[in-house]
Amino acid sequence: MKKSKTVFLTGASRGIGKAIFKKLNKQGYKIITPSRKELDLSDPTSIKRLTEVNKKLKVDILINNAGINLPQWIDELEDKNLEETLRINLISPISLIRAFVPYMKQQKWGRIVNISSMFGVVARGKQTPYVASKHGLNGVTKTLALELGPYNILVNSVCPGFVKTDLVLRNPPEKLAALAKDVPLGRLAEPEEIAELVSYLISDKNSYITGTNILIDGGYTCR
Ligand SMILES: NC(=O)c1ccc[n+]([C@@H]2O[C@H](COP(=O)([O-])OP(=O)(O)OC[C@H]3O[C@@H](n4cnc5c(N)ncnc54)[C@H](OP(=O)(O)O)[C@@H]3O)[C@@H](O)[C@H]2O)c1
């Protein structure tokens, strides 16, 4: 096995993705982080273009991190929101896995981490597309752990609770305080805490965890 492994990471410009980038960069990984201009996950032709051009790209580790959440009640839910959320959060990660898995199979080593959500395990009103996409992603994780286990490719989901990123910090301060109050640890997570778990899962130290949807939510879902 070569020394410096290549990681393909989506959504590294901000939030959790940025924290993952910083952590893995320090650890000496070679990291490919396409900008939105290079890879727009809402556009299927964009994924096709990027993966065709990079057919020979030897990706050892894929981290599907980019995601969106546009809360709308079911009776006001717009098709555009529904389709875009499912496309970015669920369909595009599957397409990327399909593109990069042949090399991992060939070398009989690979790690895939899908950044899901605690709302891939439990639910929340007003978030039908998001909850559906993250439950779907957790199902993809389990399916591919079964399918790819024989090739020594470990597939896991990381399911964060409320993390201090744009996605959550767009809420008014009083809403943020209320969210934190509902978390047994009494606070929101730092993006770096999520990056720490991802770093473990993709490392050689993880040799037996696969097919799990790991909650990292300060205990929120225990209620
Ligand atoms: N924050 C939380 O509390 C929380 C909790 C549970 C799960 N998560 C999950 O964690 C992941 C990261 O969330 P975050 O909080 O770090 O979000 P964020 O701060 O809003 O960042 C989202 C990232 O996704 C990228 N992205 C969005 N749409 C894209 C598209 N069409 N094509 C390519 N990239 C796109 C963004 O790129 P641009 O900069 O170009 O927009 C950005 O890098 C998501 O999957 C989210 O569902 C977050």
Q: How many CB atoms lie within 10 A of CB 121?
A: 18
C-beta of residue 60 within 8 angstroms of C-beta of residue 6 = yes
Q: What is the pLDDT of residues 2-55, one digit of tens each?
A: 579 999 999 999 999 999 999 999 999 999 999 999 999 999 999 999 888 777
Predicted pLDDT of residue 146: 98
- Would the pTM of this model clear 0.95, i.e. be above it? yes
Share above pLDDT 70 across residues of the chain, in percent, rounded to a whole number: 99
Ligand 1, pocket residues at CB < 6 Å: 10-11, 13-17, 36, 39-42, 65-69, 88, 115, 117, 160, 162-163, 165-168
Tell me which residue has its CA closest to atom 20 in ligand 1: 167
Domain 6-222: which topology?
Rossmann fold (3.40.50)
Residue with the larger pLDDT of the pair 170 and 57: 170
Structure tokens at 19: 């924290």
pLDDT of residue 55: 72
| Residue 158, beta-bridge partner list | 115, 214
Contact 112, 64 (CB under 8 A): yes
Give the Cα separation of 55 and 121 in Å (integer): 34
Going by their DSSP bridges, the two strands 61-64 and 153-160 should be labelled as unpaired
